[in-house]
Amino acid sequence: MEYPEHEKIAHELLKLIHDQGGSAKPKDCYEPLADYFKLSQVDRTGPRKDGRAGKQWHNLVQWARQRLINNEFLDGRQPGLWVITESGKKEFNRLRDYLRENLGVKS
């Protein structure tokens, strides 16, 4: 299977953290996101493609988190806790409103 694009992972990660009250531990994000994207067990647990230690799926989610930090949608200062910023809340609301208005998505 091909993994989802980084941007899609980032959007869903932002939504997940928002829906969990604005913060989440990394370990509480990997499986719900994998479920959302309907990843197989092999895709969830497969090793990184670059040969380094860890799982490919976790690495992709961590890169999505870094993208959100770089865009100031997540606060990366607290180890072990992913926290949405005010900018992140605004971005979440913008994306939600766009999906509702243009695609009829109810989330």
What is the per-residue pLDDT across 79-97, written as a single tens digit (0 to 9) for each? 999 999 999 999 999 988 8
Vertex 31, ends 10 and 62: CA angle to 5°? 40
Q: Extract the tokens encoding 104.
A: 């009829």
Residue 98 burial (10 A CB sphere; 0-12, 13-18, 19+): exposed
pTM for the structure as a whole: 0.89
- Mean per-residue pLDDT for 59-72? 96
